[in-house]
């Protein structure tokens, strides 16, 4: 693309495209978007000729890097045979094979996969399954319609998922319209207080509560807040004890982000329902799965009206399913999770160096995720992280922040040299921006 063509594309973009999570007034007047022409491995290639290290695996999805040749091949092969059918009264090899393969690697006790097309719908399906599950018990619980989630949670953008979330910028316009949810203290802030609040709430509210919904070990979009596996163990035990479903949203944490295949594996526990998306299709196709246990699945068997009358047009899409099958094979053949430990060590060393800077707060990491706060206060609308973003971009890395939280979530198989560059760009850009502080 010539510089003129690139400039022209940006002008047309600003006339026609409404970008997500973006103040379009500022965008149109001052933002120079990246124009990405192609991508390979951990790198994005800008139309201006630069290559940029993708510090967040393109919204946490391309866990095997961009355009992994085996995934591209799987997609092409499937496209030549069958691109789409409904999954209603119809089945196909990719859907069956992927359901089996995913359930084989899933936390114990999960026996059926319900497919949809993204993380939000994986969670939305889980919410509806939970409500209907209680209504359809032998002794129906019509009033178990309340949900518990965590402060700082993020579970997606559909209305059920919005209700569960607690990021004010995403939630506040709709706060009066969402289903009833109690947001419990986050274990990332104070584990003891979080456990006490969970138990107290379950003790008083279990009668009306359908489910506890959590992001395991890392609360992603709410600020990359990391917490102890102890909370997962206790949450599993307490929800079982008080008769509340345990729904675990592994959309971000699953597929090795935390160094084990599922974040739940750190605690050695399972759940009644697990939601998975993002890395599940390697950043190639919108695809998601809601996994359920036998007791949950069985509650929907019986008369016609007991069915789960819910679906999305593209659920089980053959292209997505074929790629998702190949993703799991690549994890196995290339020993992707095993490769995390050497990278995790590099990330930890970098985080240790960063934590020595006086204005860096709560520098933290787990597996292939590292984060730090710039200063002690801020939220999603803070602009501080964007100064680091700009500087990192000049230095050759894409480090989109969450307000004052600067973080890295690179591909799990990022080449070691690219990871070393990415970490040094992170350290340099944070150091320089903080040094400019008044």
Ligand X SMILES: *Cc1c(COP(=O)(O)O)cnc(C)c1O
Per the CB < 8 A criterion, the answer to whether 126 and 273 are in contact is yes
Structure token pair of residue 154? 């993020």
Name the residue nearer to ligand X (CB basis): 57 or 251: 251
- If one counts every other C-beta atom within 10 angstroms of the C-beta of residue 108, the result is 11
Contact 415, 41 (CB under 8 A): yes
Among 166, 249, 326, 418, binds ligand X (CB under 6 A): 249
Stretch that binds ligand X, among 91-99, 248-256, 302-310, 360-368 (CB under 6 A): 248-256
Q: How far is the CB of 435 from ligand X (least distance, A)?
A: 32
- From the list 55, 156, 316, 403, which residue makes contact with ligand X (rule: CB under 6 A)? 156
Q: From 148-156, 302-310, 338-346, 392-400, give the range in contact with ligand X by CB under 6 A.
A: 148-156
- Which DSSP helix (H) or strand (E) runs through 275? strand 273-276
* CB closer to ligand X out of 287 and 389: 287
Among 134, 252, 262, 287, binds ligand X (CB under 6 A): 252
CB nearer to ligand X: give 154 or 389: 154
What secondary structure does DSSP assign to 101-140, as a single string?
HHHHHSPTTEEEEEEESSHHHHHHHHHHHHHHHHHTSSS-
Token reading at 237 = 């035990």
Q: Is 148 left (phi over 0), alpha (psi -120 to 50) or beta?
A: beta
Q: How far is the CB of 220 from ligand X (least distance, A)?
A: 4
Q: Give the number of other Cβ atoms within 10 Å of residue 95's Cβ.
A: 23
Per DSSP, 30 falls in state H
- 162-221: which residues touch ligand X (CB under 6 A)? 215, 220-221
User: What H or E segment, with its residue span, contains residue 214?
Assistant: strand 209-214
**CB of residue 6 vs ligand X: minimum separation in angstroms?**
28
Q: Taking CB under 6 A as the rule, which mask of x and - marks residues 102-141 in contact with ligand X? A: ----------------xxx--x------------------
Shortest Å, Cβ 129 to ligand X: 16
Is the CB of 123 or the CB of 422 nearer to ligand X?
A: 123
Tell whether residue 152 is a contact of ligand X (CB under 6 A): no
Q: Report the C-alpha gap between 380 and 403 in whole angstroms.
A: 4
Q: How many residues bind ligand X (CB under 6 A)?
A: 15
Least distance from ligand X to the Cβ atom of residue 204, Å: 27
Q: Which is nearer to ligand X, 252 or 331 (CB)?
A: 252
Please tell me whether residue 191 adopts helix, strand or coil conformation: helix
Which uninterrupted H or E stretch holds 349? helix 340-355
Residues 263-302 vs ligand X: string with x where CB under 6 A?
A: --------------x-------------------------
**CB nearer ligand X, residue 275 or residue 360:** 275
Letters for 50-89 (x = contact with ligand X by CB under 6 A, - = none) are ----------------------------------------
- Residue 251 as a binder of ligand X (CB under 6 A): the answer is yes
Task: Give the full edge-to-edge strand order of the sheet including 360-366.
Answer: 360-366, 369-374, 405-408
* Gap between the Cα atoms of 68 and 114, Å rounded: 26
Kind and range of the H or E run holding 97: helix 93-105
Strands of 343-391 (E only): list them: 360-366, 369-374
Of the candidate spans 47-55, 153-161, 365-373, 384-392, the one that interacts with ligand X by CB under 6 A turns out to be 153-161
- Which residue, judged by CB position, is nearest to ligand X in the bound state? 119
**φ, ψ of residue 95 in degrees (nearest 5):** -65, -45
At closest approach, how far in Å is the CB of 277 from ligand X?
Answer: 5
Longest dimension (CA), the chain: 69
Contact window for ligand X (CB under 6 A) among 149-157, 180-188, 258-266, 374-382: 149-157
Q: Are 58 and 43 in contact (CB under 8 A)?
A: no
Task: Give the three-state DSSP class for 93.
Answer: helix
The nearer residue to ligand X, 118 or 429, going by C-beta atoms, is: 118
Q: Measured between alpha carbons, how far is 213 from 164 in angstroms, rounded to an integer?
A: 8
Q: Which of 92, 155, 257, 343 binds ligand X (CB under 6 A)?
A: 155
Q: How far is the CB of 158 from ligand X (least distance, A)?
A: 8
Binding site residues, ligand X, CB under 6 A: 118-120, 123, 154-157, 215, 220-221, 249, 251-252, 277
């Amino acid at each position: 693309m010539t510089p003129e063509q690139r400039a022209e594309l940006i002008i047309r973009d600003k006339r026609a495209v409404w970008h997500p999570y973006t103040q379009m007034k500022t965008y149109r007047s001052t933002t120079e978007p990246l124009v990405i022409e192609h991508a390979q491995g951990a790198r994005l290639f800008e139309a201006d000729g630069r290559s940029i290290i993708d510090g967040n695996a393109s919204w946490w999805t391309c866990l095997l890097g961009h355009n992994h040749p085996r995934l591209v091949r799987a997609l092409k092969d499937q496209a030549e045979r069958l691109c789409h059918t409904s999954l209603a009264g119809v089945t196909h090899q990719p859907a069956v094979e992927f359901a089996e393969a995913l359930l084989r690697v899933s936390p114990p006790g999960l026996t059926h996969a319900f497919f949809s097309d993204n993380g939000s719908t994986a969670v939305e399906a889980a919410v509806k399954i939970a409500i209907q599950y209680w209504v359809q018990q032998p002794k129906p619980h019509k009033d178990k319609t309340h949900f518990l989630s965590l402060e700082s949670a993020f579970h997606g953008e559909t209305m059920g998922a919005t209700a569960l979330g607690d990021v004010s910028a995403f939630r506040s316009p709709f706060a009066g319209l969402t289903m009833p949810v109690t947001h419990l203290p986050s274990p990332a802030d104070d584990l003891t207080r979080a456990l006490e609040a969970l138990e107290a709430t379950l003790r008083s509210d279990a009668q009306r509560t359908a489910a506890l919904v959590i992001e395991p070990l890392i609360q992603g979009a709410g600020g990359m807040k990391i917490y102890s596996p102890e909370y997962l163990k206790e949450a599993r035990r307490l929800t079982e004890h008080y008769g509340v479903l345990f729904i675990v949203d592994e959309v971000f944490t699953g597929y090795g982000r935390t160094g084990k295949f599922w974040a739940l594996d750190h605690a050695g526990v399972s759940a009644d329902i697990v939601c998975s998306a993002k890395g599940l299709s390697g950043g190639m196709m919108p695809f998601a799965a809601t996994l359920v246990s036998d007791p949950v699945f069985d509650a929907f068997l019986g008369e016609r009206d007991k069915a789960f009358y819910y679906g999305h047009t593209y659920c089980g899409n053959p292209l997505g399913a074929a790629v998702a099958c190949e993703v799991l094979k690549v994890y196995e053949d290339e020993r992707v999770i095993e490769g995390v430990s050497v990278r995790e060590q590099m990330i930890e060393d970098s985080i240790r160096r960063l934590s020595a800077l006086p204005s860096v707060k709560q520098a933290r990491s787990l597996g292939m995720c590292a984060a730090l706060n710039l200063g002690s206060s801020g939220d999603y609308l803070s602009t501080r992280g964007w100064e680091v973003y700009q500087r990192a971009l000049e230095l050759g890395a894409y480090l989109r922040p969450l307000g004052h939280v600067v973080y890295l979530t690179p591909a799990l198989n990022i080449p070691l040299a690219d990871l070393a560059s990415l970490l040094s760009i992170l350290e340099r850009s944070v150091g320089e921006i903080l040094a400019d502080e008044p």
